[in-house]
Amino acid sequence: MLYDNLAVNSRGHLTIGGLDAVDLADRFGAPLYVLDEDQVRANCRTYVRALADYMPAGSYPLFAGKALCFKGLYPVLEEEGMGADVVSPGEIYTALAGGFPAGRLYFHGNNKTDEDIAYALECGVGTFIVDNHNELDRLDEMAGERGRKQKVLLRVTPGIDPHTLQAINTGRIDCQFGVPIETGQADRFVRAAVGKANLEVMGFHSHIGSQIFEAEPFCDAVDILLAFAQRMRENYGFTVRVLNLGGGFGVRYTENDPVVDIADNIRQLSEHLKAGCKALDYPVPQVLLEPGRSIVADACVTLYRAGGVKTIEGYRSYVTVNGGMTDNPRYALYQSAYTVLPAGRMRDEADFVCTVAGRCCESGDLIQENITLPRPERDDLIAVLTTGAYNFSMASNYNRLCRPALVMVKDGEARLAVRRQTFEDLIACDL
Ligand SMILES: *Cc1c(COP(=O)(O)O)cnc(C)c1O
C-alpha cells in the first residue's frame, strides 16, 4: 500500500485508519471524502518536532489552509501546536469558527481588499504577510486608524525554480506574488516598510513552489534571503527575526513518487541556515514553514461509486464515477497523477485498462487515464488516494452537483465533519 494507514481486510475491502471503506460508503454515501485524523496529527507532529528540535526557539509550522479548510480541522491543528496560514476573510472566519486563536493566524494574499484588511485587523490576526507596496501603505494607515501596531512579514521572491510544474511554481521572479529581490524592488519594499509607524516588520516570507522532494531548493532560497537580509541590515539597520520559508514539501501520489523524510530535510535546512548565518555573523532567525499538501494529502481518500464501463471500440474504455472535477479538479487542471483502487474488490485481479471519468458535461473531466482495475460493475466502490489537499478546498458546484460529505476517522471511529450538500443548499443564495 502507498501509505501505512491503508490496508486490506479479510473481506478484501480497503481500510482507512482501520475502517472498512465499503462500510463507510454504505453509512455516509458516496462520493465521500474520508480524512484520517490520526494521519493528519502524525504529519503535524513531524513538522512541530523537527522545527523544535533543529531550529531556534519559536520556530513552528503553519498549516496552509488553502490545501484544506473546514471548521473541524482547526481544533486538531491547534492541539498539535500548529499555526495557520489563511488567504482570505473566509478562511479567517472558518479558522476562528473552529476556535483557532487569531494570534496564530498569518494572513496571506496578493490582493487584500480594504474590507479584508479591516476584517483581519478587527479579528486580531497575528501577522499579515504583506505582498506589495499598495498593501503596505493601506495596512499602515488602517492599523494606525485603529491604534494598532501590526506585525508583518514581507513577501519577497528569491527567483528560485524548484523544477516543478509551472502552474504551481511561485518562487520565480516573474510571478504575481511578492516583490522580487533581483530587480532591486524588494530593497525599496523593505525601506518603505521599516519606515511605517504602525507596522512591526518581523522578517521575510518566500514560497518557492510545490511538490518539492528535497531540501536543496529551500537551501538555495535561504542563501538568497540571507544575502538580502545582510544588505538590509547594512542599508537600514533592520534585522530579520522571523524567516518564513513557505510550503512545498511533496507527497507520494503514486509508487513512482519518492518518499520524503520531512524531519531530515528540516535538519539539513537548519544546518544550512545556521552555517549561512555564522558566515555572515547574522543572528539565526526563527523559522516558519507553511506546509499544506504534506499535512493533509496522504490522510484522505475519496470514495466513488462506478456507473459502468463504456468501451469506445478501437480506442479505450471509460469507467464513470459519481463525482469528478467538482470534487477533484486536479487532473483537469494539471494532469495530476493519482492512485486508484477497487475499494471493495482489492483481492481481484486488476487486468482491465481504463480511464476513470467524472460525471460532468466536460470532456476534460477525468480523474486518471490508463490505469488498471478489476473490470468494474455498476455501484462498485472506486477509491482515489491522496486527495486531502486541493480537492475539497477546490471543489465546485459545477453542473449543480452537491459537494460530498467529509468524514473524519480517529481511533477506529468515523464522524461526519462536513455534511453532504443538499438541493436546498444549491439554491440557498438564489433570490
Ligand atoms: C500554496 C502555498 C503553501 C502551501 O504549499 P504546499 O505545497 O501545499 O505545502 C504555503 N504558502 C504559500 C504562500 C502558498 O502559496
The CATH number of the domain holding residue 123 is 3.20.20.10
Q: What is the domain count for the chain?
A: 2
Atom of ligand 1 nearest to the CA of 66: 1
Which H or E run contains 117? helix 114-123
SS3 (DSSP) at 168:
helix
- Pick from 237, 272, 291: which residue ends a domain? 291
Q: Which atom of ligand 1 is nearest to the CA of 290?
A: 10
Domain contains 81: no
Q: Which of 207, 218, 294 to mutate to test the pocket of ligand 1 (most atoms within 8 A of CB)?
A: 207
Domain range for 226: 108-291
Whether 302 and 175 share a structural domain? no
Q: How far is the CA of 389 from the centre of ligand 1 (A)?
A: 11
Residue 262 and residue 311 in one domain: no
Same domain, 153 and 275: yes
Q: Does ligand 1 lie within 6 Å of residue 67's CB atom?
A: yes
Distance 285 CA to ligand 1 centre (A): 21
Count of Cβ atoms closer than 10 Å to residue 154 Cβ? 28
Q: How many CA atoms are closer than 13 Å to the CA of 187, on its beta-carbon side?
A: 12
Q: Assess whether the C-beta atom of 290 lies below 6 angstroms from ligand 1.
A: yes
Same domain, 218 and 315: no
For residue 74, being part of any structural domain is answered with no
Distance 64 CA to ligand 1 centre (A): 6
What gap in Å lies between CA 81 and CA 249, rounded to an integer?
19
Same domain (yes/no): 276, 336: no
CA distance 246 to 325: 27
Please indicate, yes or no, whether residues 114 and 251 belong to a single structural domain of this protein. Answer: yes
pLDDT at 165: 52
pTM of the model as a whole? 0.96
**Nearest-atom index, ligand 1, CA of 292:** 8
DSSP designation for 421 = P
pLDDT along the chain (431 residues), means of 10: 94 98 98 98 98 98 98 98 98 98 98 98 98 98 98 94 63 86 96 98 96 94 97 98 97 96 98 98 98 98 97 97 98 96 98 98 97 98 98 98 98 97 98 97
Q: In CATH, what number is assigned to the domain containing residue 15?
A: 2.40.37.10
Question: In 237-309, where does DSSP find H-type helix?
Answer: 262-280, 293-296
| pLDDT value at residue 172 | 76
**Do 119 and 257 reside in the same domain of the chain?**
yes
Q: Which of 291, 325, 347 is the last residue of a domain?
A: 291
Among the three residues 275, 291, 307, which one is the final residue of a domain in this structure?
291
Residue nearest to atom 2 of ligand 1 (CA): 247
Q: Is 64 in the pocket of ligand 1 (CB under 6 A)?
A: yes
Q: Is 137 among the domain residues?
A: yes
Residue 1 lies in a domain: no
pLDDT score, position 416: 98
What's the pLDDT at 159?
87
According to the model, what pLDDT value does residue 168 have?
A: 58
With a 6 A CB cut-off, is 209 part of the ligand 1 pocket?
Answer: no
Residue of 89, 88, 82, 120 lying closest to 104 (CA atoms): 82
Closest atom of ligand 1 to 297 CA is 8
Beta 14-16 vs 366-373: how paired, if at all?
unpaired
Q: Ligand 1 centroid to 76 CA: how many Å?
A: 19
Whether 273 and 376 map to the same domain: the answer is: no
Residue 254 carries which DSSP code?
Answer: S
DSSP string for 389-431: TTTGGG---GGGPPPPEEEEEETTEEEEEEPPP-HHHHTTT--
Look at residue 121 in the predicted model and tell me its pLDDT. 98
CA-proximal residue: ligand 1, atom 10 (nearest)? 247
- CB 205 near ligand 1, within 6 Å: no
List the catalytic residues. 361
Regarding the beta carbon of 248 and ligand 1, being less than 6 Å apart is answered yes
The kind and range of the H/E element at 397 are none
Q: Quick check: CB of 247 below 6 Å from ligand 1?
A: yes
> Does residue 279 fall inside a structural domain?
yes
Q: Would the CB of 262 count as within 6 Å of ligand 1? A: no
Atom 7 of ligand 1: nearest residue by CA position = 248
Cβ atoms of 83 and 101 within 8 Å: the answer is: no
Is 83 a domain residue? Answer: no
Within a domain: residue 103?
no
R_g (Cα) of the chain, nearest Å: 23
Is residue 93 one of the residues assigned to a domain? no
Q: Do 226 and 336 share a domain, yes or no?
A: no
